[in-house]
Amino acid sequence: MNYFESIFAILPILILTGTALIILLVEAFIDKHFKNLISLILSVAGLIFSMYYLICGMKTNATEYFGGSYIVDNMGMAFSLIISIVAILVIFVSFHYITKKYKNIGEYYSLILFASAGMISLSLSNDMMTFFISLEVMSIAVYVLAGLHRENLRSNESAVKYLILGAFASAFLLLGIAFIYGATGEMHFGKISKILLNHSSEYTVTLGSTGLLFILIGFLFKIGAVPFQQWVPDVYEGAPMSVTAFMATGVKTAAFAILIRGLITIFQVIETQTLVNILSIITVLTMIVGNFMALIQDNIKRLLAYSGIAHTGYILLGIIASKVTSPNNMDISPILFYLLAYALMNIGAFSVLIGGGSDGKDLETFDDIRGLGYKNRLLGLCMVVFFFSLAGIPSTAGFMGKFFIFKSAIQSQSLLLYGLSIIGILTAIVSVYYYLKIVVYLYLKEEKRVYERQSVKWNYLLINIISLVITLLIGIFPHIGYYILKI
Amino acid sequence: MGNSLISIVLFLPLIGGILLMFFPSNREFIPSSRDKLIKVIGLSFALLTFILSIPLFTSFKGGFEEKVIWIDPNMLNTSYHLKLDGISILLFILTTFVTPIILLASWNSIQIRIKEFVITVLLIETGMLGAFVAWDLLLFYIFWEVMLVPMYFLIGIWGSENKIYASVKFFIYTMVGSLLMFLGILYIYMKVGSFDLDVIYRNVNLLSSDVFNIFGINLHVEHILFLVFALSFAIKVPLFPFHTWLPDAHVQAPTAGSVILASVLLKMGTYGFIRFAIPFFPEASIDFAPVISILSLIGIVYGAFMALAQTDIKKLIAYSSVSHLGFVMLGLFAVLNRLPGSSEAIFMYQGVQGAIYQMINHGISTGALFLLVGMIYERRHTKEMKEYGGLAKVMPIYAVVFMITTLSSIGLPGLNGFVGEFLILLGTFKANWIYGVIGASGVILGAVYMLILYQRVFFGECTNPKNLSLKDMSIREIIVMVPLVILMVIMGVIPNYFLSKIDVSMGEFFKMIPNIQLGGM
């Protein structure tokens, strides 16, 4: 493989890293009044540039670069596109927000870009080394972001908790990688599975599958599946709101990218039935714990954290369905669609929570959002659409996401998946209750009071309108979502 | 325009609602004139919708159809397919007919958030119309669910004290049913490979073949699917024992909400049985017909007794709805009987015809009752029966209109209610006389509780001093009630005009269903 072609293939990642470095440099030299705006323009330009090269580099056939370390295929590209969209939205949401909380603005933007570069690299990685380094690039940037609000104890707690538990997950991953390398002497995903499948030596197989189990645990930790979910609500609650939005969408998308990459390569070694059984138990627990714990929250950030866990459960359901339908050639388009929808409605919801706040405080508890629908009609309308979308009411992206996931589950024609779908639907009914609770506070409480109109900064409005329009558009015409992701 | 008239009628209220959303909310207008302007715009959209829908009804000769590509057909075998046939045309026209009446009736009673109110009512109209004309399961499901959202707000924002409880209960109850139905719809798609109703009707035999073996018990998929669909529709009807959300929703909802619920929304459930549950799963419908008939009978009698025990006028009418809708369900299921020694079943024609007719009747007369209760509630702010008495002397016009509506509701010959109940009981007696006897007792009980209500509110001495100064119906209120009263008489005197619209497609529709024959013609 030509060396320059390889460089061209990872150009999106290079552009992002380069932009991040430029922002760090530029920030030192410019007047502090323009710092924020210039950093915003630079980082969005960098992201759009990198998206452009992502789309240019899109190939119909999967191609490997750098001796197999990177793979460029439709799946990786679609994940990278979602991640780029998420990053752009999050950067716009942060624009006014970070000036309130934080002084060194340049660092914030470059950390987001570093994290995005790590995520894109993660979804394109094809061997153990690349994957682990990308994961750490992403994670370390996000650890710092979570602790951004230095004077705030909860932000510190969040960062430390995330760091320690993240290190725990990294340790599992490293141990797993070491075991597998010990068993096979290979780093490349494809070669590992080839060796593990062909070698019948008991030593290799035992060591290899122990390693795979460790790696699976690491992945499940990153996507926040039960029983590895405890860190999610605490970390989400403490982190600054814009970072929470980034973690809930970007990090989750990247983690799913690598989980699916693993499922179509190294985890094929494990017998499909065993894998499906393990994942099914985890899915059921995730759906149940996520939805029922969300019921009893009084903090909206925590509620969204648990609802995020529940949505992880639905995505896992989709993964199981495609694994059962065709173990070797998984159709992951429903999962991609779901992730796109999930990202849009979550970032939209967080943007309302930030934008609707006054006096430097975000909206965090139910009392904070009382009557928000009357204080600012647009924010209220957006919030309602996003929460009905999260609940899966038709004509929103969330419904179409659930529709495709459950459709693939039913079409697999297996009794196990019928059972999982029924549990999924029953827990979805539970979720309707807590999403409605938000709407109750937005509109139904003290509706007779006359509220002061509240104005909102342009960037929150922009993100809200964009998310609202796309949520409704791909909710009514889902094929547009498929075109966006080219799947 | 001729070809896309259904779509125009369907989306006109939605367009009106969206336009109103952009209506300036700042202080350029004097608040009262601004509110009036909003109401006029909303009303004219609703009226225009009604006027445009009239040609659909008068020139109806068997059906209108529209089909356009919606989602990329390579991805999903579905389309934007609308169709009006004899079963849906009357319900469709009823919806466009009551919406302007509802807006006009709420002219003064809604004091807060008027813009949002008008938008909400218009959105509900589009949702309901869509559910009646959708000829594609996915499209139907979308309308069916979407209509919940504005209805939830209607009860939750403009309702009385306990509105949050009532609105959440309404939403959750309906969601429980419809989400399970959602899985059923996906299963049908997996089997048939299309959401289009024409394709599904042609391939219903594909749905009856599967058998699950769970823990050694054989379960017919058709039975499970039928139960899933039936649960969803039964909650909406509401069939005993799934009716508990209805009294709460009715009592807490504003007048507009109660009228929408009673006139159209509840019909969604019975319509669902005729359109989906019975034709999709004929075998299972025949097997479950006795169960559903008995539940309907319990509903008829139980609803009537509960109505007798109420002191709140709105609650009384809410329970009478449970009883009346029990009749409709009886007309659909009591008349479905397996022929002895054969796999075929016979479906008594009069029962189905009467059920459809009764759906419209109930919509008109119960809707009118809720409007009337709303009018008196506006004046006195109480719905307790004992607060009234002797109103006939104070409000003579009101008393007359209320009397006609009451008589229509209890099925006096010459008014609309009689035709529907008579046809249903005729079909039921032909099929199974025991059901007929119990059902007929419901008619008598219905007369008892309605007349007791009338007597307590209107007759006797006007003892309560607050009632002495009550004003009779205003011109606006008379305009609201007149079309309904006229319709009650017309539908009672020349039922054939309306029944013929139903008949046009009945035979054709039921010919498609395997194992079920129409009988008693």
- Residue burial B270-284, b: 16+ Cβ < 10 Å; e: rest: bbbbbbbbbbbbbbb
Amino acid identity of A337? F
C-alpha distances (whole Å) from A59 to each of A54, A66, A71, B187, B297 are 10, 17, 11, 35, 65
Spatial CB neighbours of A7, under 8 Å, sequence gap ≥ 6? A14
Q: Provide the CA A170 distance to its chain's centre, in angstroms.
A: 18
What is the pLDDT at residue B237?
87
- The closest of A114, A112, A124 to A54, measured between CA atoms, is A124
- Whether the CB of A465 is below 8 Å from some CB of chain B: the reply is no
Tally of CB atoms within 10 A around A454: 14
Identify all chain B residues contacting A374, using CB atoms and an 8 Å cutoff: 113
Identify all chain A residues contacting B175, using CB atoms and an 8 Å cutoff: 429, 432
What is the pLDDT at residue A357?
78
The answer to whether residue A205 scores a pLDDT higher than 50 is yes
Q: What is the per-residue pLDDT across A321-368, written as a single tens digit (0 to 9) for each?
A: 998 888 778 888 899 999 999 999 999 999 999 888 776 678 888 888
Rounded to whole angstroms, the Cα distance separating A127 from A266 reads 10
Tokens of B421: 């109940």
Mean pLDDT of all residues in B462-476: 80
Rounded to whole angstroms, the Cα distance separating A260 from A181 reads 21
Tally of CB atoms within 10 A around B378: 14
Rounded to whole angstroms, the Cα distance separating B301 from A393 reads 36
What is the pLDDT at residue B1?
42
Mean pLDDT of all residues in B295-304: 90
Q: Which residue has the tokens 């752009």?
A: A88
ipTM: 0.90
The answer to whether residue A310 scores a pLDDT higher than 90 is yes
The answer to whether residue B108 scores a pLDDT higher than 90 is no
Tokens of A186: 């290979």
Q: What is the per-residue pLDDT across B153-165, written as a single tens digit (0 to 9) for each?
A: 888 888 888 888 8
Q: What is the per-residue pLDDT across A247-263, written as a single tens digit (0 to 9) for each?
A: 999 999 999 999 999 88
Mean pLDDT of all residues in A369-379: 83
pTM to 2 decimals? 0.92
Confidence of residue B480 (pLDDT cuts 50, 70, 90): confident
- The residue with greater pLDDT, B432 or B216, is B432
The answer to whether residue A147 scores a pLDDT higher than 80 is yes
Confidence of residue A468 (pLDDT cuts 50, 70, 90): very high
* Measured distance between the N- and C-terminal CA atoms of chain A, rounded to whole angstroms: 26
Q: What angle do helix axes A153-184 and A189-198 make, rounded to 10 degrees? A: 50
Interface of B with A (CB under 8 A): 25, 70-72, 75-76, 112-113, 141-142, 145-146, 148-149, 152-153, 156-157, 163-164, 167-168, 171-172, 175-176, 179-180, 182-183, 186-187, 189-190, 212, 214
Mean pLDDT of all residues in B286-310: 89
* Cβ–Cβ under 8 Å, residues B315 and B251: yes
Q: What is the per-residue pLDDT across A230-241, written as a single tens digit (0 to 9) for each?
A: 889 989 988 888
Inter-chain touch B186–A406, beta carbons under 8 Å? yes
Size of interface A-B (CB pairs under 8 A): 80
- The closest of A108, A235, A272 to A161, measured between CA atoms, is A235
Rounded to whole angstroms, the Cα distance separating A221 from B91 reads 53
Q: What is the per-residue pLDDT across B412-437, written as a single tens digit (0 to 9) for each?
A: 888 888 888 888 888 888 888 888 88
Confidence of residue B229 (pLDDT cuts 50, 70, 90): very high
Tokens of A251: 């990090």
Identify all chain A residues contacting B183, using CB atoms and an 8 Å cutoff: 406, 410, 421-422, 425
Amino acid identity of B90? L
- The residue with greater pLDDT, B508 or B103, is B103
Spatial CB neighbours of A437, under 8 Å, sequence gap ≥ 6? A366
What is the pLDDT at residue A287?
93
Q: Which chain B residue shows the shortest CA-CA distance from A437? A: B168
Rounded to whole angstroms, the Cα distance separating B129 from A130 reads 56
Inter-chain touch A410–B76, beta carbons under 8 Å? no
Inter-chain touch B113–A478, beta carbons under 8 Å? no
Indicate if the alpha-carbon torsion angle B306, B307, B312, B317 is positive or negative. Answer: positive
Inter-chain touch A410–B186, beta carbons under 8 Å? yes
Rounded to whole angstroms, the Cα distance separating B107 from A233 reads 48
- Out of A288-292, A370-374, B221-225, B354-358, the most confident range is A288-292
Q: Which residue has the tokens 């979502």?
A: A481
Q: Reduce the DSSP state of residue B96 to 3 states and report it.
A: helix
Mean pLDDT of all residues in B274-279: 87
What is the pLDDT at residue A448?
66
Rounded to whole angstroms, the Cα distance separating B85 from A474 reads 31
- Whether the CB of A295 is below 8 Å from some CB of chain B: the reply is no
Peptide bond into B279 cis (omega under 30): no
Rounded to whole angstroms, the Cα distance separating A117 from A190 reads 24
Inter-chain touch A407–B25, beta carbons under 8 Å? no
Rounded to whole angstroms, the Cα distance separating B261 from B275 reads 20
Inter-chain touch B186–A407, beta carbons under 8 Å? yes
Tokens of B169: 């209960």
User: Mutate which of B119, B179, B227 to disrupt the A interface (most A C-beta within 10 Å)?
Assistant: B179
Inter-chain touch B183–A406, beta carbons under 8 Å? yes
